[in-house]
Amino acid sequence: MIFANAAEFEASSFQPKVCIVGAGPAGITIARVLAKLGTPVVILEAGGEEVTEESQDFYRGTTVGDPYFDLDVARLRFLGGCSNHWAGWCRVLDASDFEARPWVPDSGWPIGRHDIEPFLGEVQDILDLPAFEADRPIDADISWIQLIKSPAVRFGQKYREEIATSDRIALVLNTHVTELVGDGTQVTAARIRSNGAPARDLRVAQYVVATGGLENSRLLLWSNERSGGGVVPKPAALGRYWMEHPQFIAADALLLRENAFEMDAQNEAFFGPSPAALQRAGIMNFGVRLISTPYAGVKETVAHLACTAPSFSEWASSTVGLNLTCGGHLSVGWEQAPVAENRVALSGSERDADGIPRIELHWKKGELDRRTLLEGLRLFGQSMARADLGRVRLAEWLLEGEEYPEGGELAGYHHMGGTRMSNDPQKGVVDSDCRVHGMRNLHIGGSSVFATSGHANPTTTIVALALRLGYHLSGLPHVTA
Ligand SMILES: Cc1cc2nc3c(=O)[nH]c(=O)nc-3n(C[C@H](O)[C@H](O)[C@H](O)COP(=O)(O)OP(=O)(O)OC[C@H]3O[C@@H](n4cnc5c(N)ncnc54)[C@H](O)[C@@H]3O)c2cc1C
């Protein structure tokens, strides 16, 4: 069932047991599992069926620290959420991403990859993915890895008909949750505004916040402030440890195409490090994307390198025209170190049309981030040279310790952390079931629960975690009762 606003929903006799806030990939996935298993569920979605300037305005905010995208451009506030403009690149986090690493402060999830693996078959169906493939080692340090460029499922479109005809899902559009009301042990109501009508409360047994990797923190910070700690009673990590995947073109490569790897349909190939190599180098996880340039571009690179790196160029010159078939730029996206100071905060001066403080995002890359980029590319270059697959030349700005280049890719539009998962309420907001510490009936969906981010694009893992959460919720006594 789809309702255009809360008044229409209230006029129906539908009695949900679970309220999900947000109809993006996480919220829709959780709702579909619950409905499949017999639980009536309501999804409250702030936007309508199309993007509007008015709705996007709620997403405006400011960033303090490193340059970042405008926050109202970096996400979409309508049915389907950011899946309306995601690129569809898919990969599950690596098993090692979940583990505690002594050289990475505050690393380690309370769950392992084995906890989400049972759901990966369903993830494939939901995201229209081919089979996941194992990494193919080039040597002990670097593998050629699978990065699926999927058809980029738009959740609002793909699942609209299923939701519209479901008698167990009520999707209520144009309905903002402005605040959750709680008493420090449970949420007692979701306060909503819909279509300009006066605020009203919705009461159910269970609540799930799935409003995206920035908004989850904002909603909970504001709710907690209003209720005097009644929604997140252990708030030490709330809003904190926010992470992106910084991303820059930081090297050129000349590579011989051999059986070790092949380019995809867009003439790109992807590479990642082994856990042992990361441990030896003491760096975060990273992914290297080889963006191939046409043969003329390869010759240009060789000519350029003759001036800047003679020995590299000598090797390249003797190879060009023989079996050198591939060259290009190397873009590196990496796992940002989890740092408590990187955080979503509530603005002290700016509010949205509902009177809720806008986001003030504090975000900076640190020393471990820079070292990951530099040493990661060195690892990659050494592996290519050792296997005689090619040579890598790092960018001058990186070698010389200069600032990150302006106008580059910057980051992946991946919003992670803020309500991270940890058994320790000082270090995280949710437990291993995505339940807010100390709260009986409040769970969180989406990448805000990521304790660390790996280098993989997040949505594949978001959907796997959402499935896991959906099955978990369906078994709770007050949901099945
Ligand atoms: C340009 C771009 C490209 C991307 N490319 C990729 C990619 O290639 N691969 C990848 O893995 N990821 C990619 N992403 C990230 C991906 O889109 C997100 O990881 C994913 O959409 C997150 O899903 P979600 O359901 O957690 O949140 P969202 O998609 O943000 O959905 C949240 C929903 O909650 C609603 N909402 C917000 N606040 C409220 C409120 N107060 N009350 C009610 N409803 C509310 C919103 O309207 C929205 O519908 C990309 C993102 C962008 C912006």
What pLDDT was estimated at residue 328? Answer: 87
- 333 and 265 in a single domain? The answer is yes
CATH number at residue 200: 3.50.50.60
What pLDDT was estimated at residue 258? Answer: 58
Helix, strand counts (H, E) of the chain: 14, 22
Residue 267 placed within a domain:
yes
What pLDDT was estimated at residue 320? Answer: 57
Residue 453: strand, helix, or coil: coil
**pLDDT, tens only, 102-118:** 999 999 999 999 999 99
Residue 464: strand, helix, or coil: helix
**Which residues, at least 6 apart from 29, have a Cβ–Cβ distance to it below 8 Å?**
126, 445, 463, 466, 467, 470
**pLDDT, tens only, 302-353:** 656 655 565 665 666 665 555 555 678 999 999 999 999 999 999 999 999 9
Give the end of a domain, one of 375, 399, 423. 399
- 115 and 192 in a single domain? The answer is yes
Ligand 1 centre to CA of 390 (Å) is 38
What pLDDT was estimated at residue 262? Answer: 84
pTM of the predicted structure, to 2 decimals: 0.96
Residue 146 placed within a domain:
no
- 61 and 200 in a single domain? The answer is yes
- 306 and 434 in a single domain? The answer is no
What pLDDT was estimated at residue 212? Answer: 98
Alpha-carbon gap, residue 288 to 15, rounded angstroms: 49
Residue 138 placed within a domain:
no
- 90 and 229 in a single domain? The answer is yes
- 300 and 424 in a single domain? The answer is no
What pLDDT was estimated at residue 480? Answer: 65
What tokens does 412 get?
Answer: 């992946």
- C-alpha 8: how far from its chain's center? 34
What pLDDT was estimated at residue 310? Answer: 58
- 393 and 455 in a single domain? The answer is no
- 116 and 87 in a single domain? The answer is yes
- 273 and 217 in a single domain? The answer is no
Instruction: Report whether residue 47 contacts ligand 1, using a CB cutoff of 6 Å.
Output: yes
Instruction: Report whether residue 27 contacts ligand 1, using a CB cutoff of 6 Å.
Output: yes
**Which residues, at least 6 apart from 291, have a Cβ–Cβ distance to it below 8 Å?**
249, 267, 268, 328, 329, 330, 331
Domain count within the chain? 2
Residue 140 placed within a domain:
no
**Which residues, at least 6 apart from 134, have a Cβ–Cβ distance to it below 8 Å?**
none
Instruction: Report whether residue 247 contacts ligand 1, using a CB cutoff of 6 Å.
Output: no
Alpha-carbon gap, residue 71 to 228, rounded angstroms: 28
Residue 449 placed within a domain:
yes
Instruction: Report whether residue 418 contacts ligand 1, using a CB cutoff of 6 Å.
Output: no
Instruction: Report whether residue 87 contacts ligand 1, using a CB cutoff of 6 Å.
Output: yes
- 70 and 185 in a single domain? The answer is yes
What tokens does 264 get?
Answer: 């995809």
What pLDDT was estimated at residue 477? Answer: 74
Which residues span the domain enclosing 458? 2-131+153-243+340-364+415-480
Residue pair 434/445 in contact (Cβ under 8 Å)? The answer is yes
- 446 and 390 in a single domain? The answer is no
Provide the mean pLDDT of the chain: 93
For the chain, the helix, strand and coil percentages under 3-state DSSP, each to the nearest 5: 30, 25, 45
Pocket test for ligand 1, best of 45, 153, 195, 211 (most atoms within 8 A of CB): 211
Residue 409 placed within a domain:
no
- 88 and 214 in a single domain? The answer is yes
Ligand 1 centre to CA of 163 (Å) is 19
| Atom of ligand 1 lying closest to residue 75 CA | 53
Residue 144 placed within a domain:
no
Residue 471 placed within a domain:
yes
**In the chain, which residues have pLDDT < 70?**
257-260, 294-326, 478, 480-481
